[in-house]
Amino acid sequence: MDNNDKLTGLYVFDEFLKVASERLDNAESDKLYVLISIDFSKFKYINRVYSYSAGDKLIKDLADTIVNEEGCVIACRPYSDHIISLFSFEKDAWVVEKERLKQLQDNFCNSHKQEYSKTSVHLNTGVCVIEDNSEPITSIIDKANIARRSVKGNYSVPYAMYTQKLQTIKEAESRLIPIFEKALENEEILVYMQPKISVKKGGIKGAEALTRLIDEDGSIVPPDIFIPVLENSGKVLDLDWYVMKYVFKKIDEWLKEGRTVVPISVNLSKLHFYHDSLVEDIMREFEKYNFPPDYVEFEVTESVFFEEADLIIDKIEKLRQNGFKISVDDFGAGYSSLNLIGILPVDIIKLDKGFIKNSLNNRKGKDIIKGLIRILNEIEMDIVCEGIETKAEEKIVYEFGCDSMQGFLYDKPIPIDNFENKYILMKAI
Ligand code: C2E
Ligand code: MG
Ligand code: MG
């Protein structure tokens, strides 16, 4: 039997399984083994636009890049544009190697940019760090594939690591969808609110609507489990419409009751932007009411601006022309670029909680946050710092020039009744 793939010269799948298993059985104790699963985004499109032989060349180039990468033990091409490879590293070098992995993706894509200029060459990369060398190789491959699929088409992260959470999301997929559909039909999806605070004024200046789903056993499923499931199935659109209608109705109710209302933000999944009628659909709903649009803010995740810039800018502009506020959510979580800030037609930048946490614990990171806040202030962009948990964190970012905060220091997302009682009677700022 031929042990090598004709196009790439890599092992065929069966041979890979055999050799990789043997290698793991005889693993050296000071080595860490990592399995990497890669394919291209929109490979069909590349084949169609450039011809199959151009597609083949790209696969061959990727295969060559991978086998020449330091640490690569073996690789194979199970099918089409999909390549899996086993790497081994010194155990304590993994932190550095992770960085190299990011560069592999960037270098490969950049070096093919010109040749394939009609499409963006992009790789979906899933990584499974092998914790137990006796785990069957097929199970390790499954894990790396789960990680790869979790970032399919996501241009804002260089790769995904397999985690237990990804497994939970995958397992939850078939179970959660019927639970969601039933909850939607019975209007039982919970909408929680988390306040945004002005430090200077010492009070609330807005709030974010965040959803919760109730599981069959009565426990609450957090959004980081059910949102990815709903995004994969497209059902997140139904969720967002539900939340938006709910928020419009609440604002209207509160105003009619004579309460002091603050702007409420609703998260909009990127999937909405594939619908040409998005703005008209929102307006149709909004026009049922009679309150000013600046009570409503839409949060759109940073990554969406990278992936689908053309698709979204126009819709965002229209939403703003209609008077709604737009914020970029989770800024700094992925590949943020200062360039982007200049061209984004948005009102507010929400600095990502992870980005802030990681940055505030070292000198360089602090300087970056400080510089970023300064630039945003200079171009008169509003800033909200997410994930503020301690007074110390508040103090640092406040001194850097950010006044608006959201985080557990003030309140977690809380049920709507609590929120009304606690905040919505307060005088707005
Ligand atoms: P997000 O829009 O960035 O919302 C902020 C998340 O940060 C919330 O998580 C909130 O509970 C959490 N958070 C706020 N302050 C702190 C803090 O001080 N420390 C920590 N550790 N976390 C804090 P949550 O509610 O679990 O929501 C997660 C994500 O799910 C949201 O991130 C948003 O992207 C998505 N999501 C939630 N509801 C909806 C929805 O109705 N539609 C859509 N499309 N996405 C939603
Ligand atoms: Mg948000
Ligand atoms: Mg956020």
Q: What is the pLDDT along the chain (429 residues), one digit of tens a residue?
A: 578 899 999 999 999 999 999 999 999 888 999 999 999 988 888 888 888 999 999 999 999 999 999 999 999 999 999 999 999 999 888 878 888 888 888 889 889 988 888 777 889 999 999 999 999 999 999 999 999 998 887 777 789 999 998 988 888 888 999 999 999 999 999 999 999 999 999 999 999 999 999 999 999 998 999 998 998 889 999 999 999 999 999 999 999 999 999 999 999 998 899 899 999 999 999 999 999 999 999 999 987 877 667 778 899 999 999 999 999 999 988 766 677 787 788 999 999 999 999 899 899 999 999 999 999 999 999 999 999 999 999 999 999 999 999 999 999 999 999 999 999 975 544
Q: Can you tell me which atom of ligand 1 is nearest the CA of 212?
A: 38
Instruction: Give residue 329 CA to ligand 2 midpoint distance, Å.
Output: 5
Top mutation candidate among 210, 211, 244 for ligand 1, by most atoms within 8 Å of CB? 210
- Quick one: pLDDT at residue 220? 94
- Quick one: pLDDT at residue 308? 67
Ligand with smallest separation from the Cα of 332:
3
Give CA angle at 276 (275, 282), nearest 5°.
80
End-to-end CA distance of the chain: 75
* Burial track 199-217 (b if 16+ CB lie within 10 A, e otherwise): beeebbbbbbbbbbbeeee
Distance of CA 321 to the CA centre of its chain: 27
- Quick one: pLDDT at residue 287? 98
Residue with tokens 């793991």: 24
Instruction: Give residue 330 CA to ligand 3 midpoint distance, Å.
Output: 4
To 10 degrees, what angle do helices 52-68 and 94-112 make? 150
Ligand 1 in reach of 327 Cβ (< 6 A): no
Q: Can you tell me which atom of ligand 1 is nearest the CA of 350?
A: 3
Ligand with smallest separation from the Cα of 407:
1
Which residue's alpha carbon is at the smallest distance from atom 8 of ligand 1? 210
Instruction: Give residue 394 CA to ligand 1 midpoint distance, Å.
Output: 19
Domains of the chain and any CATH numbers? 13-162 (3.30.70.270), 169-422 (3.20.20.450)
Which residue's alpha carbon is at the smallest distance from atom 17 of ligand 1? 387
Ligand 1 in reach of 223 Cβ (< 6 A): yes
Top mutation candidate among 196, 246, 267 for ligand 1, by most atoms within 8 Å of CB? 267
- Quick one: pLDDT at residue 169? 86
What residues have a C-beta under 5 A from ligand 3, the ion? 329-330, 386
Among 355, 356, 358, 400, smallest CA distance to 375 is for: 400
